[in-house]
């Protein structure tokens, strides 16, 4: 079924299984929304290997044409328009789609595997031709296919493979190399911090995380969480449990509290994240980072409550 590099299987808007032969220039459009904000983005599935990042606030820099992000994409917890089925392609690359999670609004994340039927997605196909400004943005983006592969892209791919194999020390080194070559990239530091965390280098992870959060502009209103780096969720939760035990024992350590709060927010445990982030905010060094995460947390909760109320009225 997946013998060729260009053969793909996916579920459409109506949860029907579809097959298509994909070539380099083929693209489709995704619609992302978060509260009153929305964006549209083209995806080139020929290049796509795995979903790595979650954008907790739904924002993604549309001008990023780096090959590494065409290989390893993202989506926010609210994700509409395309649900690819995880399938490894054993050919000249290992293109496969993974990390089909979405946030339910109740602190839970649901994963869809290759044989699991999807629930009610509340998917709304978007007729983007009615939005002149969106058409202009899409036209500009359509002109930019993935950039040529760079050494930073190579290091990033090697880091992803090492991480998935639980060789976290190698992933730390590779992500650091990629960061040194792509200093303008605001997303790479979150992957680097995740590798440090997985390698139980908590102090180093907090330093990187604080810097990454400081570089997020207020209008972007988002935080990136590289949840899809892990081979499965159980591995991620095991790491979070270890951090949680240490943070409980050293409750006075504001750095551990900030790191724990970030990871709880990243996996959708909103209520559990409030305590650690509040304690972290009492420390001068972590006050700004804590405030950024708490503000995003409240925005996510408010959006979930608004959507729940709207669904209740509709029903």
- Model pLDDT, residue 247: 97
Domains of the chain: 7-117+126-142 (no CATH), 151-314 (1.25.40)
- Model pLDDT, residue 300: 85
Q: Which of 51, 46, 50, 52 is closest to 92 using CA atoms?
A: 46
> How do the pLDDT tens digits run along the chain, 315 residues long?
334 456 666 666 677 777 777 777 777 776 666 556 666 667 777 777 778 898 888 778 878 889 999 888 876 665 444 555 555 444 455 555 544 333 333 433 333 333 233 333 333 334 444 444 544 455 545 545 788 899 999 999 999 999 999 999 999 999 999 999 999 999 999 999 999 999 999 999 999 999 999 988 766 667 899 988 998 889 999 999 999 999 999 999 999 999 999 999 999 899 999 999 999 999 999 999 999 999 999 988 887 787 777 667 766
d(CA 217, CA 242): 31
- Model pLDDT, residue 111: 37
- Model pLDDT, residue 125: 37
| 42 bridge partner residues | 29
Question: Residue 208 CB: number of other CB atoms within 10 A?
Answer: 23
d(CA 226, CA 95): 18
User: DSSP labels for 197-232?
Assistant: HHTT-HHHHHHHHHHHHHTS-TTT---EE-GGGSSS
Question: Which residue has tokens 């990136």?
Answer: 224
Question: Which residue has tokens 């730390």?
Answer: 172
């Amino acid at each position: 079924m997946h013998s060729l590099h260009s053969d793909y299987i996916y579920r459409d808007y109506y949860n029907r299984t579809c097959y298509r032969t994909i070539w380099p220039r083929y693209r489709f459009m995704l619609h992302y929304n978060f509260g009153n904000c929305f964006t549209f983005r083209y995806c080139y599935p020929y290049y796509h290997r795995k979903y790595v990042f979650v954008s907790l606030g739904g924002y993604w820099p549309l001008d990023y044409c780096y090959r590494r992000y065409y290989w390893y994409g993202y989506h926010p917890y609210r994700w509409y328009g395309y649900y690819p089925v995880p399938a490894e392609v054993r050919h000249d690359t290992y293109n496969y789609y993974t990390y089909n999670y979405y946030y339910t609004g109740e602190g839970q994340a649901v994963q869809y595997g290759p044989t699991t039927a999807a629930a009610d997605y509340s998917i709304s196909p978007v007729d983007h031709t009615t939005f002149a400004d969106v058409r202009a943005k899409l036209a500009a983006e359509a002109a930019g296919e993935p950039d040529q592969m760079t050494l930073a892209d190579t290091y990033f791919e090697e880091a992803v493979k090492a991480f998935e194999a639980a060789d976290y020390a190698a992933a730390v080194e590779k992500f650091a190399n990629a960061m040194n070559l792509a200093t303008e990239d605001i997303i790479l530091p979150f992957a680097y911090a995740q590798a440090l965390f997985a390698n139980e280098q908590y102090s180093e992870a907090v330093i990187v995380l604080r810097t990454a959060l400081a570089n997020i502009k207020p209008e972007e209103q988002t935080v990136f969480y590289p949840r899809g780096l892990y081979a499965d969720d159980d591995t991620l939760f095991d790491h979070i449990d270890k951090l949680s035990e240490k943070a409980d024992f050293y409750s006075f350590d504001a750095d551990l509290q900030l790191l724990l709060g970030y990871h709880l927010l990243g996996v959708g445990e909103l209520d559990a994240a409030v305590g650690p982030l509040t304690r972290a905010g009492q420390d001068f060094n972590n006050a700004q980072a804590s405030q950024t995460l708490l503000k995003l947390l409240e925005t996510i909760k408010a959006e979930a409550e608004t959507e729940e109320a709207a669904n209740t009225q509709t029903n």
